[in-house]
Structure 1
Amino acid sequence: MAPPSKDSFHGIVTGVDQQHVAAVVQQPIGRLVPLPEGPACVLAMATAFPPTVIQQDTYHDKLFELCNVADDVVLKARFKRICDSSCIKKRHTFLTPELFKAHPELLTYWDNSLTTRNEIANKVVPEISYEAAIKAVEEWGHPLSDITHMVFATTSSTSIPGTDLKIARMLGLHPTVQRLCLYQTGCWGGGAVMRIARGLAETAKGARVLVVVAEANTVMNFRAPNQDTLYKVDGFLAHATLGDGAAALVIGADPLPEVERPIYEMYWSTQMAVPDSEHVLEGKITEAGLFQRGDKDTVRIVIAKHLAEFTSHGKKLVGNPDNRDMFWVVHPGAYKILEDVAEAVGVEKEKLQPSWDVLENFGNMSGPTCLFALDEMRQRSIRLGASTTGMGSEFGFLLGLGPGFNMELTLLRSVPL
């Protein structure tokens, strides 16, 4: 190949001797950091959640008594119907009677409480993240010193230095671990960290990425019931669906034979910010905490209009399998979301069963929820004696959905059990 001429760099490189640039381009030195040969893989997964449980069938009584509005029987009856129709049996929360006693401002609707909420979240989010990360690393079976990268996401805590650095120091990660922190992703955060971690794992041979997503949704959203907002998204999400928890994964390419066993292979990822959809679901941080609002009907329209096309690009890469032959790990933001996804891609409810199970037992934990569903897919496959970690299917999608309106998609390949 002929060396590039001096003129070929004209207009591209300025302020640099172009003969020197041409010489650099011709150097025989290849990549200083070799690439892995295979795709990124999920090598370990774990979840964690606070011990305090919200029992959905009695929550209406406890909430109204706690907020001193128990005598509003009409409003409580309406709220009970919302809880009863949520398809949730229980959720987990960081909020305790002790916290409410110490911070009565949390029991109002509009009193200033953001400082209190931040202080609580900045304490509990690193703690639950540490718990999930330790469990994932123990399953992986390697020392923390082998971690080269860390990706963390949350919408609940805000601090300087960031929560990612707090977690890294709690874990004792090496100071040179390369960290990336995502704030304010909302429900699509679990899908985003998968996409980013896959890219990092495939940039250097031997890279091992620790992924952590943690939320304290009830801390940021809890407030007294209000007649004017009960049927709006902020009232519904805060009191009928949101829970707290954390998920952690270890991701890396080229698993070491007989030392690392992949759970899923990761082949392709993408993100889509649906045009003209900013109003569909959004949040606003105020002195009274986080208020969320949205249009449930529009969410359904967006999913129905865009999801099939969104997933088609990944399917083409693996021979266009039928959706019914794939496994589906979907963010269970609400039961209607799962119904809409199943309808949009033409699969039966059973195909999304791990997501339904997570919704039933944990509610919507925002970012970590689709990763809980991924772990449940693996566990359910084992319990039922399936041939692969995808309930017998070879390929599947992990789908994150959330404010923006954003959709995150990762194409996975299951492994034999």
Structure 2
Amino acid sequence: MHKPALLSLATAIPPHCFKQKDVLDAAWDVFGSRFPDYDRFASIFANTGIVKRYGVKPFDWYLAQRGWPERTAAYLEGAESLFVEAASKALRDAALAAADIDTIVTVSSTGIATPSLEARVARRLGFRSDVSRVPVFGLGCAGGVSGLSIASRLAQARPGSNVLMVAVELCSLALRLDELTKANIVATSLFADGAAALVVRAGDGGQTQIEATGEHLWPNTLDVMGWSVDPLGFGVILRRTVPEFVATELKPALTQILARMDLGVADIDKFICHPGGAKVIEAIEGAMSLDQGTLEHERGVIADYGNMSAPTVLFILERTMARGLPQRSLVTALGPGFTASCVSLRHAA
């Protein structure tokens, strides 16, 4: 069968840069006097590994109470802009026009858009009227890898067709001033906005082939990560310690996924992982018996951009590709469900 190949990968960030130290100062002002023992949680900001991150709105916009109408307006404006920028870069790098795209996979879980984002920007970018649209919601941080997996399978089903996948997440819009919970403090310390786009095609070879894909859904884990919904917007759910979960559960799940690919852990030359935060990176290295510091690109991206949810791992893949992929890589991410999503890449030097 024709293996799908990754033709291009591009990323985009919004215009407003926030230094982590400034976010910490603002969080003290907002939460310090209202949150019991807030000083115990303030150290979370320093332990994320983040230096700076980006948002679709100016810093002060986040310091006022917002409801669904304002959050949705900000989502539509910001997500459409990032979609266009990331997709345009990916199309250019693949030497394609928007009219050459046969299928669009849009991944986003941080806002509601109906019609979905690819329809909203179709005229601006120049997609054909017969383009197939596949909007995907609810995968959270796993969405970038799952989106690549979906795009590769759609490309393999129609060799020669061009599939564009765009992951856009505006996590900053979920900031809640009213929720005095540890989960909200963790989200405030981590979340950022960004987008990534890629083009996949099967049938004519390619230097970086998508060798295999796989997922693992853990039972009884709906409370690990997700959104709650109320009149003001999304509220983050983080009811279990993700680093501890990764330490005990990740390797058995990846081993099962790899076995279904007829591979083992020893066959992987490089793991490319959604980082979550500094403690999650350490937990991944420990779980997979990687030397400390192995996930250097993960640490670099989290420092420079924060946790953008679905696009984050694609920022890491972009950075890894720029420095040279090894023969076989495994791109992995964890997200609501609780789910692990994996894609094996085979690279020809």
Instruction: Give TM-score, length-normalised by structure 2.
Output: 0.91
Per-residue deviation, 1:282: 2.2
Tell whether the 8 Å contact from 1:88 to 1:360 is kept in structure 2 after alignment: yes
Deviations 1:186-212 (A, max 9, x none): 111111101100101101121110010
Query: Quick one: distance in 1 between partners of 2:282 and 2:59?
Result: 35
Aligned to 1:33: none
Q: Which segments of 5 or more consecutive residues in structure 1 lack a partner in the other structure?
A: 1-36, 107-112, 382-388
Aligned to 1:187: 141
Query: Quick one: distance in 1 between partners of 2:170 and 2:81?
Result: 11
Aligned to 1:62: 26
Aligned to 1:146: 100
Q: Which runs of 4+ in 1 moved over 6 A?
A: 69-76
Aligned to 2:199: 250
Aligned to 2:183: 233
Aligned to 2:344: 411
Tell whether the 8 Å contact from 2:65 to 2:177 is kept in structure 1 after alignment: no
Query: Quick one: distance in 2 between partners of 1:154 and 1:336?
Result: 25
Percentage of pairs with the same residue:
24
Q: Cα distance 1:179–1:73, how it changes in 2: closer, same or farther (>3 A)?
A: closer
Indicate yes or no: 2:285 matched with 1:332: no
Indicate yes or no: 2:48 matched with 1:86: yes
Tell whether the 8 Å contact from 1:155 to 1:186 is kept in structure 2 after alignment: yes
Q: Which is worse superposed, 348-357 or 360-369? A: 348-357
Query: Quick one: distance in 2 between partners of 1:400 and 1:127?
Result: 25
Query: Quick one: distance in 1 between partners of 2:62 and 2:263?
Result: 55
Per-residue deviation, 1:170: 2.4
Indicate yes or no: 2:152 matched with 1:208: no
Which amino acid in structure 2 is aligned with residue 372 of structure 1? F
- Rg larger in structure: 1
Aligned to 2:258: 314
Tell whether the 8 Å contact from 2:176 to 2:235 is kept in structure 1 after alignment: no
Q: Cα distance 1:240–1:97, how it changes in 2: closer, same or farther (>3 A)?
A: closer
Query: Quick one: distance in 2 between partners of 1:285 and 1:216?
Result: 16
Which amino acid in structure 1 is aligned with residue 266 of structure 2? D
Deviations 1:24-57 (A, max 9, x none): xxxxxxxxxxxxx531111101000012111112
Per-residue deviation, 1:157: 2.3
Query: Quick one: distance in 2 between partners of 1:289 and 1:211?
Result: 26
Query: Quick one: distance in 2 between partners of 1:73 and 1:189?
Result: 32
Trace 1:17-416 onto structure 2 (pairs within 5 A): 37-65=1-29, 67=30, 77-78=39-40, 80-96=42-58, 99=61, 104-106=64-66, 113-219=67-173, 221-224=174-177, 228-229=180-181, 232-237=182-187, 239-255=188-204, 262=207, 264-297=208-241, 300-301=244-245, 304-314=248-258, 317=261, 320=264, 322=266, 326-379=269-322, 381=323, 389-390=324-325, 393-416=326-349
Count of equivalent residues = 349
Tell whether the 8 Å contact from 2:243 to 2:279 is kept in structure 1 after alignment: no
Query: Quick one: distance in 1 between partners of 2:50 and 2:118?
Result: 31
Q: Cα distance 1:217–1:409, how it changes in 2: closer, same or farther (>3 A)?
A: same
Q: Which segments of 5 or more consecutive residues in structure 2 lack a partner in the other structure?
A: none
SS in 1 for 2:127: coil
Query: Quick one: distance in 2 between partners of 1:174 and 1:298?
Result: 42
Instruction: Give TM-score, length-normalised by structure 1.
Output: 0.77
